[in-house]
Amino acid sequence: MPQAYIGVDVGTSSTRAGVFDEAGNLLATARHPIRTWHEAGDIVEQSSSDIWDACAKSVRAAMAEAAIASEAVKGIGFDATCSLVVLDRDGEPVTVSVSGDRQRNVIVWMDHRATAEARLINETQDNVLRYVGGSISPEMEMPKLLWLKRHLRASFDAAGHFFDLADYLTWRATGSLQRSTCTVTCKWNYQAHNSQDNAGGWSAPFFQRIGLSEFVGEKYARIGTEIVPPGTRLGAGLTRAAAADLGLIPGIPVGASLIDAHAGGVGAIGGRDGSDGTADVCDRLAYIMGTSACIMATTREPCFVPGVWGPYYSGMVPDFWLNEGGQSAAGAAIDHLLKSHPGHTEASAAARKDGLDLIDFLEKRIIARAGSASKAALLARDIHVLPEFIGNRSPYADPDTRAVVAGLDLDTDIASMERLFVAGLCGLAYGLAEVIEAFAAHGVTSRIMIMGGGASRSPLVRQIMADTTGLTVALPQTKEPVLLGAAMLGAVAGGAFASIGETMAKMSALGRLSEPTAEGMADFHRRKRDVYKLLRDVDRGSRAAMRGFELAM
């Protein structure tokens, strides 16, 4: 009987499941939406129960599509956004919402309610902050925990378990309270390189300085006392209850989890390149572009890059260090730009008529009009976008940054929307280039960038990224590197391969390459980047000018 492995990915708006064979070939996928509550003041909440139900529906649908028996599944892995899940001591939801609704027990990664708490933590200048580029982000878990303590004390005190969402999923699947090195190192300020025993990487002085000394007194029981590498087999595998939910067999091995972007990195950067069948992961950047975007570099020794998260030991690839840049809004920024354009309704209707989604419809028109993906950037000569709608994640670590658009006119047709779309892509590329330059200035260099996420399939996106950064941009051979990375966790847990590194080499390969364009596009993008920097100055200057006029609510 052929063996199969399942990867489950929980993104910002949906869950997905993928079924792969042991060579990494995708057999089937399925998707199910998840519910999100958006409130004023950057509040974004979800329900862990709803997310688990969506995972179950996705797995069942993917298995039905693959048409294989449950007995063929030899391992399963989970990845998720770095959202905070709060449960009581019995494993029941604890509200994180001022509404008091117990189902709303997840603070989503993009929720920025804890910006003030992040500032307070940063003011301590604790040594732990060196390992997040010198500045913690409100997207991380410590500021959110401090917010709960300060604003919803009853929920903070009632909580028996605080989980990163990916670790919640493996707990729900196996009953194991073990946490992944990936989640706690990258989002919880755990220092894996300092760990002498299972909990040794937690810093008691840090918790005391930031006002969360309760965790020290509890010996970290509520946030994790046993930290294990991604892919570690958890518990006795799927519990009977979880197996019944997922439509699988009890006991199937479950691997310790990864954050979603990191799963994409694992599924992409180790791929065979057609030469000698090996890959140097330190020569390859991973760029995972979804609702947000993560730019990840792997090194053998720690590199400290101001404004860039890390270095994280074993944060993605075990026994290597990880530096992680990113953009808080990537796909979300493009979606918002397009929805704000007066031609959105007309363009959406035309796309439906052609049987395309809006992005594919616009891209097809743009490349036809420009003559090539590279020259399409010229359409954005006179319009410029700083697309930082919810702050700058790196290299400036400024959560208060906001978007700026220059060059708007009164045009409302689809051609005007196309220009805005291209300008938004250029803005994302220039933000990426800033992170890559920050990497290089501190000794982190790469020859090739492997893209994953939905936008990676776009030749227009890949070409603009290549022309802006000067790097060769590659696609993974699989169209689902995030799901593949999650499935690899199951393959390691199930014993098919001895390590994550071996799994990466055996289950993935590189596909299509996009090279930088030789004919003058680098000069064009350099000039537009000068304008992009002016927009950043406008954003900073306008915020400084209006400081002190906040409206008390």
Q: Is the dihedral of CA 383, 388, 394, 396 positive or negative?
A: positive
Q: How far is CA 82 from the centre of its chain?
A: 8
Cβ–Cβ contacts within 10 Å for residue 537, how many?
11
Nearest CA to 139 among 328, 13, 335?
328
Query: Looking at the chain, which residues constitute the CATH 1.20.58.2240 domain(s)?
Result: 331-434+519-543
Higher pLDDT, 513 or 378: 378
CATH of domain 331-434+519-543: 1.20.58.2240
The whole-number average pLDDT for the span 143-159 is: 98
Nearest-angstrom CA–CA distance, 325 and 311? 11
* DSSP classification of residue 233: B
| 108, 165 Cβ separation under 8 angstroms | no
Which tens digit of pLDDT belongs to each residue from 196-206?
544 569 999 99
Which tens digit of pLDDT belongs to each residue from 261-315?
999 999 999 876 644 444 688 989 999 998 999 999 999 999 999 999 999 999 9
Task: Place 415 in a pLDDT band, splitting at 50, 70 and 90.
Answer: very high
pLDDT at residue 240 greater than cutoff 50: yes
Residues with Cβ within 8 Å of residue 496, at least 6 apart in sequence: 3, 5, 22, 74, 75, 503
Query: Looking at the chain, which residues constitute the CATH 3.30.420.40 domain(s)?
Result: 1-270+281-328+443-518
Q: Of the ranges 112-121, 360-369, 387-396, 446-455, which one carries the lowest mean pLDDT score? A: 446-455
The alpha-helical segments, DSSP class H, found in 67-164 are 115-123, 141-151, 153-158
Which tens digit of pLDDT belongs to each residue from 503-552?
999 999 888 888 988 667 989 999 999 999 999 999 999 999 999 887 75
> Angle CA(248)–CA(251)–CA(253) in degrees, nearest 5?
95
pLDDT at 206: 97
Nearest-angstrom CA–CA distance, 141 and 189? 9
pLDDT at 552: 58
pLDDT at 276: 42
Strands 26-33 and 37-39, sheet pairing: unpaired
Q: How far is CA 338 from the centre of its chain?
A: 22
Task: Place 195 in a pLDDT band, splitting at 50, 70 and 90.
Answer: low
Nearest CA to 85 among 109, 68, 62, 66?
109
* DSSP classification of residue 193: G
Structure-block tokens of residue 260: 């979603």
* Superfamily for the 1-270+281-328+443-518 domain: ATPase, nucleotide binding domain (3.30.420.40)
The whole-number average pLDDT for the span 456-465 is: 92
pLDDT at 518: 63
Strands 284-289 and 448-452, sheet pairing: parallel
Which tens digit of pLDDT belongs to each residue from 47-79?
999 999 999 999 999 999 999 999 999 999 999
pLDDT at 64: 98
Give, rounded to a whole angstrom, the gap between the first and last alpha carbons of the chain: 64
- Full-prediction pTM beyond 0.75? yes
What percentage of the chain has pLDDT greater than the value 70? Answer: 96
Average pLDDT, the chain: 94
Structure-block tokens of residue 53: 């139900």
pLDDT at 263: 96
Higher pLDDT, 456 or 89: 89
Nearest-angstrom CA–CA distance, 339 and 348? 10
pLDDT at 42: 86
